Amino acid sequence: KLQGNESTPKKVTLSEFFKGFTDHEEKRPITEPRKIKESSPFSNIKTFSPSMYNTFLNSLPFKECTHPNGLLNLTSYLPNHFNPPDLGPIVFIETGRNFNDSRGTIQLKLDVSDSLYIMTHSYKSGHELPNIKCAVLWHIFGYQDTNKIRCYLKNWNEKRKKKLRINYSDYIHDQSIYLTNEMLMELKEQQGVVAYQIYQNVGDCIFIPAGCAYQVLNLSNCIQVSTGYISPERTYQCTQLASEFRKLPKKHYQNNDLAQVQNHILFSNSQCISILENNDNKLLDFIESPQKPKKSRIIRQTTPEYDINRYSFRKRTKLDKYL
């Protein structure tokens, strides 16, 4: 498994990684942050442990929205042959950090979909805050504050010494900045932005609405499970973020729409209309039908229309009222 700090990542065995993870009372706190990378097969419980995956699904709160097959989860309406996105669940196993570190467990970021984090295990690391029961410290910002945060970070970067300045593609999407306590105070004074500060412990579930920037600091050694979903209330924010990702440099790891937000909106709306009209899902029938409709009956005008991955609606049809 992969482990190590940000500057010098290295490979260690799983047993070496967990040394000091649970037996903190016998040893000194781990000074070098450790984590199992999200790309590790161990982190994907859906394939690594199907029984654990089913247990996680059964423990989800508000299953109508958060479950992969929930009625209010728009990701459940995308046909399988469209290669639905993998929004989780993912296991995060990471050690605690010092509160005064300039880096967090998760740097300031934005998710293209709604997400939730459930803490399943927590072990003392020696970095906990006195008189406060807090395994993980969260800072979550309102959607309306995103541009103000970018404005503050731009000024912050320009005020740094020339040799310390970094040419960011995007101050948030690069996921390379953690707002320290001092920076949070400056953000409040200069932009009037105040973060929601949340203390998370074992059994707590944190919901992150799409479009809300957030950052995370593990104080204890923790195991968390996270998954994504798309709620009807946040489709505007999801499409806005997908548009932002497409504008990033081509080599940027966020330069894509992994969530396929517009496809989810399209197919969920089509399903709703078919139920309200008590008809078959005409959009699916149109896509899956091997025969093309006759132009004299279907084609109405030749305005370029929406392109869905492999399937392209090159002309507007009577079906546009269902899209």
User: pLDDT digits over 252-296, tens only?
Assistant: 767 665 667 888 888 888 888 888 877 776 666 656 555 555 554
Q: Is there a domain that residue 178 lies in?
A: yes
Q: How far is CA 258 from the centre of its chain?
A: 11
CATH of the domain at 188: 2.60.120.650
**If you write DSSP's letter for every residue of 170-207 in order, what string do you get?**
-TTTT------HHHHHHHHHHH----EEEEE-TT-EEE
To 10 degrees, the CA torsion angle through 260, 264, 270, 273?
Answer: -150
What integer pLDDT is reported at residue 298 of this predicted model?
Answer: 44
Query: Position 136: which residue type?
Result: V
Where is average pLDDT lowest: 8-12, 167-171, 238-242, 260-264?
A: 8-12
Does pTM top 0.75 for this prediction?
Answer: yes
What is the spatial distance between Cα 156 and Cα 165, in angstroms, rounded to a whole number? 9
Q: Name the residue with tokens 């953000």.
A: 187
- Domain annotation covers residue 217: yes
The H or E element that residue 215 is part of is: strand 214-218
Helix 181-191 vs helix 146-159: crossing angle, to nearest 10: 110
For residue 187, give its domain range.
Answer: 14-64+90-231
pLDDT band at 84, cuts 50/70/90? confident
Contact 307, 315 (CB under 8 A): no
Question: In the block, which residue shows the tokens 């990702």?
Answer: 245
**Rg of the chain in Å (alpha carbons):** 23
Whole-number pLDDT of residue 40: 65
- The helix or strand, by DSSP H or E, that contains position 269, with its residue range, turns out to be helix 261-276
Q: What is the edge-to-edge ordering of all strands in the sheet holding 136-140?
A: 106-109, 214-218, 136-140, 196-200
Looking at residue 257, its pLDDT comes to: 57
Residue 199 lies in a domain: yes
Identify whether 181 is part of a domain. yes
Is there a domain that residue 289 lies in?
no
Instruction: Single out the residue of 129, 255, 264, 148 nearest to residue 195, CA to CA.
Output: 148
Domain total for the chain? 1
CB atoms within 10 A of CB 167: 6
pLDDT of residue 228: 93
Q: What is the pLDDT of residues 48-80, one digit of tens each?
A: 788 888 999 999 999 999 999 999 999 888 887
Examine residue 168 and state whether it is found in any structural domain, yes or no. Answer: yes
| Residue 293 lies inside a defined structural domain of this protein | no
Name the most confidently modeled range: 43-47, 163-167, 228-232: 228-232
CA 147 to chain centre: 19
What pLDDT is recorded for position 283?
64
Where does the pLDDT of residue 30 fall: very low under 50, low under 70, confident under 90, or very high at 90 and above?
low
| pLDDT given at position 41 | 64
Which burial class, exposed, middle or buried, applies to 8 when counting CB atoms under 10 A from its CB (0-12, 13-18, 19+)? exposed
266, part of any domain: no
Q: SS3 for 221?
A: strand
What pLDDT does residue 287 have? 61
